[in-house]
Structure 1
Amino acid sequence: MKVACVQLDIAFGKPKENFHNVEEKVRQAASLGAKIVVLPEMWNTGYDLTRLDEIADVEGQDTKKLFTELSKELSIYIIGGSVSTKKGNKFYNTMYVTNDYGDIIAEYNKAHLFKLMDEHLYLEEGNEKNLFTVDGTEMSGIICYDLRFPEWTRVHALNGAKVMFIPAQWPDKRIDHWKILLQARAIENQIFIVAVNRVGSDPNNFFNGNSMVIAPWGEILWTGGNEEAVQIVNINLTEVEEVRDRIPVFLDRREVLYN
């Protein structure tokens, strides 16, 4: 399965500019043969949180329109990273997923809000898992800071996920944590990890990409640089069962000890 990782330099607080860039990059990914296109976190506005009332996507309408039209036209799945959304009088960090017929098949609000970037002051927490099917294979998605909670990744793996997508805005000063945690989550859950980080900067942080695709045995299939990029990576889904047969971690769990 061909997966396209799209590293973006996000224009701070400029949705129109970002929507144009995303459409261009998604079309590029499709032209390269991608079946799944994966975007970074909060790509529509960046972390311009104080202006969300002006710039957040109301009910996700603009994002859903773009994704459904592109997915249908190009016959691709879009793992939409995440966007800032306004629902009623509340704001969320939301991931939308579309299938190759242009249907919305998943919607997820980030469960763990990152206080160091003031998310908790402006955004609401999500309370639902994020599981969906791509061509008959169970997959899942979480967002950035969610990565630091191994129990959240494990919940999705226990529910059948063989691939986990992780969009992020992970600053360069903690990029070593990003790399180690991603590899650990792949190994401990015996799943593919497809993690897409942004590049560029905002008023408070510098982001140096280092998006990664990691196989269930922990092998790093690709690491991105620090500039915008559209990278196709082939993943072989049969590897998940092969690794789980070699070391049957899930069969050897002792749940009685974990509460």
Structure 2
Amino acid sequence: MKIALIQMKVQDQKSLNLKKAKKHIKEAARNGAELVILPEMFNTPYNNSYFEKFAEEYPGESTDVLKNLAKELNLVIVGGSIPERECEHIYNTSYVFSKKGDLIAKHRKIHLFDIDVEGGAKFKESDTLTAGEDLTTFQVGDMKFGLIVCYDIRFPDLSMNLALKGVDAIIVPAAFNMTTGPAHWHLSARARALDNQVYTLLCSQSRNEDSSYRAYGHSLVASPWGNIQDELQIEEGILYSNLDKDYITKVRGELPLLKHRRPNIYEMK
């Protein structure tokens, strides 16, 4: 399966972000992508004040754009994430639309990014956002995908649970910053891929030096063997990669980690 990760520069005008996302998605479709992924908070700067300002109920402006593009271009779109408003709550939510334009999955970020690194990044998503509660999977052809958002990747139990549900790949719209990115971006992608013998697909915003929150970039695909299969750097662009279900089967046959688990010994009772 040919996939495309869109690493785009996000600006402070939603209309411009949607226009840019539309342009990149159409380019990916022309180049034969069957599934396209956008980054975390692709329609808004990564800032609590913008989350409130740009939040949308479903259906809304951003999801309508994605739905219509999916149907028009006959491809699956994983809409990175946007701030979703429901009653008094705002969630960091990723929507997935089928080739027919149907909503087939919705993931609300489970783990909120509340950090304070001495001499580095400080951010508190919980000042604005509410945490999600559900695991998310969806099917495209013969491949099953798990969907998480950014900080969710740091919690191995979540990815393991998705692997045990039979996913072949875990999609991670994300926006690591210039403190956490150099330290843990590649490590997290490779570790989750290796531990669970799945592809991990991390899709970031591109680097914007003028932004108050500078994304790390480096959108990538890690293979079930734990190596980086394809990667962008910091610039805006589209990363194309191929997912091979037979390769997953090969790796799991040679090194059957999931079969060798002994949860009766080490899982909490």
Q: Same fold (TM over 0.5)?
A: yes
Q: 1:114 Cα shift?
A: 0.4
1:217-236 equivalent positions in 2, closer than 5 A: 217-236=225-244
Q: 1:11 Cα shift?
A: 0.8
- The equivalent of 1:206 in structure 2 is 214
3-state SS of the aligned residue for 2:69?
helix
- The equivalent of 2:118 in structure 1 is none
Q: 1:88 Cα shift?
A: 1.1
- The equivalent of 1:140 in structure 2 is 146
Distance in 1 separating the partners of 2:201 and 2:75: 16
Q: 1:64 Cα shift?
A: 2.2
Q: 1:133 Cα shift?
A: 0.3
- The equivalent of 2:163 in structure 1 is 157
Q: Indicate conservation of the 8 Å contact 1:108/1:130, yes or no.
A: yes
Aligned residue identity for 2:236: E
Deviation string, structure 1 residues 133-182 (Cα, Å, up to 9, x no partner): 01132111100000110111111111111111111111122223010110
- The equivalent of 2:202 in structure 1 is 195
Q: TM-score under structure 1 normalisation?
A: 0.96
- How many percent identity over aligned positions? 31
3-state SS of the aligned residue for 2:260?
coil
Q: Indicate conservation of the 8 Å contact 1:208/1:227, yes or no.
A: no
Deviation string, structure 1 residues 7-57 (Cα, Å, up to 9, x no partner): 011113x21111111111100110111001011001111223224443212
- The equivalent of 2:190 in structure 1 is 183
Q: 1:204 Cα shift?
A: 3.0
Distance in 1 separating the partners of 2:18 and 2:59: 13
3-state SS of the aligned residue for 1:126?
coil
- The equivalent of 1:55 in structure 2 is 54
Aligned residue identity for 1:65: D
Q: TM-score under structure 2 normalisation?
A: 0.92
1:1-259 equivalent positions in 2, closer than 5 A: 1-12=1-12, 14-116=13-115, 117-176=123-182, 177-201=184-208, 203-256=211-264, 257-259=266-268
Distance in 2 separating the partners of 1:162 and 1:64: 26
Name the count of aligned residue pairs: 258
User: How well do the aligned residues superpose, as a CA RMSD in angstroms?
Assistant: 1.3
Aligned residue identity for 1:56: A
Distance in 2 separating the partners of 1:16 and 1:206: 21
Q: 1:203 Cα shift?
A: 4.3
What residue ranges of structure 2 are gaps of 5+ in the alignment?
A: 116-122
Q: Indicate conservation of the 8 Å contact 1:8/1:229, yes or no.
A: yes
Distance in 2 separating the partners of 1:68 and 1:230: 20
Q: CA 1:84/1:60 → structure 2, altered by over 3 Å: closer, same or farther?
A: farther
What residue ranges of structure 1 are gaps of 5+ in the alignment?
A: none
Q: 1:208 Cα shift?
A: 3.2
